[in-house]
Amino acid sequence: MHIIHISAELAPVAKEGGLADVVYGLARESNRQGHSAEVILPNYDVALEEEVDAFSCITKNLQTPFSGKTFQNSIWKGSVGGIPTYFLEPHHPKMLFERGCIYGCDDDVDRFLYFSRASLEFLMQQQPRPDIIHLHDWQTAIVAPLLMALAKDFGPPLPKVVFTVHNLEYQGRCAPGDIEKVGLQRDAFYSKGKMQDNIYPEALNLLSGGILYSDAVITVSPTYAQEVLTPEYGKGLESLLREQSNKFSGILNGLDYGYWNPETDKYLPAHFSSKEFSSNGKSHTTLSRKGYVKRVLKERLLLDEERRPLLATICRLVPQKGIELIKHAIRLASGLGAQFVLLGSSPIPSISDEFHWLQEEYAHHPHVRLILRHYEDLAHLIYAGSDMFLVPSRFEPCGLTQLIALRYGTIPIVRRTGGLKDTIFDVEQKNASPKKANGYTFDEFTPDAFESTLRRAIHCWYHEPEKWREFIIKGMEQDFSWEKPAKEYFNIYNELVGKEVHQQ
């Protein structure tokens, strides 16, 4: 099966959040299991070139009609972690992807509409054409209605379209006339039940186009797939998703265990594992080296040497992630006998300012450190060197950070919502399956519920070290790799491609 992902992000070359990790992990696993998966991505000026092998230009003459004009593009090809990847470089006077960022420009809608149209144009010129076009989030959603509208021009065979929605919060609302730039007729799509926005009827909603016109729609965990059918989580798209329930489902994200691996991680000063080995007739693990990584991390952060549990959070600082509860933990940590490190950045100026003030307030604190940037290497060190990882989200489609933490022997403390509910099970819950239990959880989005859960975990760390060690080992040995979820995606791909054969 030949699959092409059209995506705005791909780890580690162009990453803002989980979308990048997911496209990377799923494409690599697809290739590992014998399929042929490729990715097409904008050629951002901020892309990390050192993460791309064998980078070369394959054409300078791809033409894209946009806003009534035709523009040339170059396509570069390279390998990212073994994934064949195309990079689209528009020769457009607005330098669409040379802005020093991935998102956050006033014309983001135009930038990604352009990318979508040009990518589709390129893919349809390929011989043979892909079996599956796999779209991700609002940035590439327009490809689904475009392929339908241009089907006659392209001619058969047409690929099937799979659309993964990573987060319903971001819907790509725009002016109804914007889709004319890519060649779609406004009146054919801007109406109720089509792409007109349900909450702001004067706007057009790109995400809804992806949902309506793709052959299969997936979201990133079974619990989130249920939650989004309600007004609280569906953000205006709940009724559309309910109508499309025959092609809508939830598949839990996996983690790329080649990239996220404490035994080989290139960013760690020492490697460790929960695996037992024998020497002198005794069995050992290398888990004690996690303590060394913790020491290195504390030195880098200038935290006090005192023996205390280290709590960590790594996230985009947006309301979804539970900003109030994160601030509560910062204020609380030291008094609970713990230390705290936050690594995060915010696209929202008011939240960014607030955290910069907090950062200043705690600048010389012996037990608290805030780092307000995106740092891949420090993220790895924090996952590996901390004791507990906090994810107090208001909602969480899947969440990858709790899975990375588990892999690095850091116990997750999470609010039970979305994918967090599907992956983390409380070690003290009487009815929980002991095989699954792997962290601490709470339900209510309140400081009290969070605080009492933190206290339970910190108590165990101080007073039951043997039990804590068992938790660590169990979490590290659980399997949240892509192997099983990728098979669920293949079942959907196969069903779609099979249907086509059946109809012919």
Question: Binder to ligand ADP among 14, 333, 342, 379 (CB under 6 A)?
Answer: 379
Cβ contact 184:149 at 8 Å: yes
Question: Binder to ligand ADP among 376, 428, 443, 495 (CB under 6 A)?
Answer: 376
Among residues 417, 416, 439, which one has the least CA distance to residue 427? 439
- CB burial of 80-100 (b: ≥16 within 10 Å; e: otherwise) equals bbebbbbbbbbebeeebbebe
Q: Minimal distance in Å, beta carbon 341 to ligand ADP?
A: 11
Nearest CB to ligand ADP, comparing residues 182 and 351: 351
Cβ contact 4:134 at 8 Å: yes
Q: Could you say which residues in the range 67-126 bind ligand ADP, by CB under 6 A?
A: none
Segment lying near ligand ADP (by CB under 6 A), choices 99-107, 368-376, 440-448, 456-464: 368-376
Q: Could you say which residues in the range 395-414 bind ligand ADP, by CB under 6 A?
A: 398-401
Contact flag: residue 142 with ligand ADP (CB under 6 A) = no
Segment lying near ligand ADP (by CB under 6 A), choices 27-35, 67-75, 393-401, 464-472: 393-401
Q: Could you say which residues in the range 299-338 bind ligand ADP, by CB under 6 A?
A: 314-316
Q: Minimal distance in Å, beta carbon 127 to ligand ADP?
A: 35
* CB-based closest residue to ligand ADP: 18
Cβ contact 33:486 at 8 Å: yes
Q: Minimal distance in Å, beta carbon 150 to ligand ADP?
A: 31
Q: Minimal distance in Å, beta carbon 450 to ligand ADP?
A: 18
Structure token pair of residue 490:
């293949």
Question: What letter represents residue 133's amino acid?
Answer: I
Structure token pair of residue 411:
């116990």
Contact flag: residue 268 with ligand ADP (CB under 6 A) = no
Contact flag: residue 170 with ligand ADP (CB under 6 A) = no
Give the bridge partners for 80, in sequence order: 83
- State whether the Cα torsion 139-140-141-145 is positive or negative: positive
Assign residue 172 a region (left: φ > 0; alpha: ψ between -120 and 50; beta: otherwise). left
Structure token pair of residue 111:
């930038």
Strand, helix or coil at 290? helix
Nearest CB to ligand ADP, comparing residues 41 and 179: 41
Strand, helix or coil at 363? coil
Cβ contact 326:390 at 8 Å: yes
Nearest CB to ligand ADP, comparing residues 85 and 253: 253
Segment lying near ligand ADP (by CB under 6 A), choices 26-34, 243-251, 392-400, 454-462: 392-400
Contact flag: residue 385 with ligand ADP (CB under 6 A) = no
How many residues lie near ligand ADP (CB under 6 A)? Answer: 18
Cβ contact 310:291 at 8 Å: no
* Contact string 335-354 vs ligand ADP (x = CB under 6 A): --------xxx---------
* Contact string 3-42 vs ligand ADP (x = CB under 6 A): --------------xxx-x---------------------
Which residues have a Cβ under 8 Å from the Cβ of 264 and sit 6 or more positions away? 271
Nearest CB to ligand ADP, comparing residues 267 and 277: 267
Give the bridge partners for 66, in sequence order: 69
- State whether the Cα torsion 327-330-333-338 is positive or negative: positive
Binding site for ligand ADP (CB under 6 A): 17-19, 21, 314-316, 343-345, 374-376, 379, 398-401
